[in-house]
Structure 1
């Protein structure tokens, strides 16, 4: 069983596992920090410091935004971990190529959406480059899965051709016996 895309899948999957673990940890810490921020939100000293800094956003709103973004980061991290782990497990298995193509497509779409949102919100160039790196990473993962899928189709076509030849040989043998 040939798996032309296994290297693409394995390398990108390992990178996704590393980035997914980092994202999940960062998201969890962000959520914990926002929880602590919410507990000090009504402290007059914090309110005064924000007012002096010229912030028009309340600490409750900041805590809520940090909780939401932390939750999204945690969710994305878990998704990247799952996609990466499945990629490592199924990199050689051409029968699972379609599953990996779907997962790679999902990661690519989410990376594109994230890039657009970050550009609209005026994210730093490093953030945009990181999003672009995820798009390339998901594209390479998808490419590896596509190569494996093509190999699976070729294997099925070859197996069908062999069956056809065997059937023709059996029919020829039966005709000769009559």
Structure 2
């Protein structure tokens, strides 16, 4: 018998893989762009926050991608629901931390961005909770 949240967890896992892969590609391009920008920086600008943001985006993208894979693999295993919940929380926390890093770097607080970034991890966590035995 399939758990209640199995399909829900699988669908949100697929979405996390897709968006994680897109974020991975974009963050790699961003890190390369930051490196190119740093090559032309004569020391006038502090590049620390750009590097921190770029590397954090890369790590977040990998976490989202991994969480999606774990969700799909464990969708039919209710005893692994807690593992999925933990990964969903990790991705959600990284989304919030990314917004904080962005604000520290000088950007305005973007509620829309934060909400959009939290929707899929929240749905993933709901699917994992429904999947519990």
- Residue of structure 2 equivalent to 1:79: 63
CA contact (8 A) 1:108 1:135 kept: yes
Superposition deviation, residue 31 in structure 1: 1.4
- Does residue 1:36 correspond to 2:68, yes or no? no
Q: Quote the RMSD (CA, aligned, Å).
A: 2.2
Does structure 2 retain, via aligned residues, the 8 Å contact 1:114–1:131? no
Q: What does residue 12 of structure 2 align with?
A: 12
- Structure 1 residues 34 and 116: alpha-carbon distance in aligned structure 2, compared to 1, 3 A threshold: closer
The alignment status of 1:129 with 2:115, answered yes or no, reads no
Structure 1 runs of 4+ off > 6 angstroms?
A: none
Structure 1 stretches of 5 or more lacking a match?
Answer: 48-57, 153-178
1:4-27 superposed Cα distances (whole Å, 9 cap, x missing partner): 111221121111111111211122
Q: Secondary structure at the match of 1:141?
A: helix
Question: Partners of 1:119 and 1:65 in 2: how far apart?
Answer: 10
Larger Rg: 1
1:30 and 1:67 in contact (8 A); partners too: no
Q: TM-score, normalised by structure 2?
A: 0.84
Contact persistence 1:4–1:147 (CA under 8 A): yes
Confirm whether residue 91 of structure 1 aligns to residue 75 of structure 2.
yes
Q: Is the 8 A contact 1:30 1:66 kept in 2?
A: no
Whether the 8 Å CA contact 1:108–1:138 is kept in 2: the answer is: yes
Distance 2:118 2:39 in 1: 37
Count residues in correspondence: 131
* C-alpha distance in 1 between matches for 2:24 and 2:108: 24
Q: TM-score, normalised by structure 1?
A: 0.65
Matches of 1:110 and 1:135 in 2, distance apart?
10
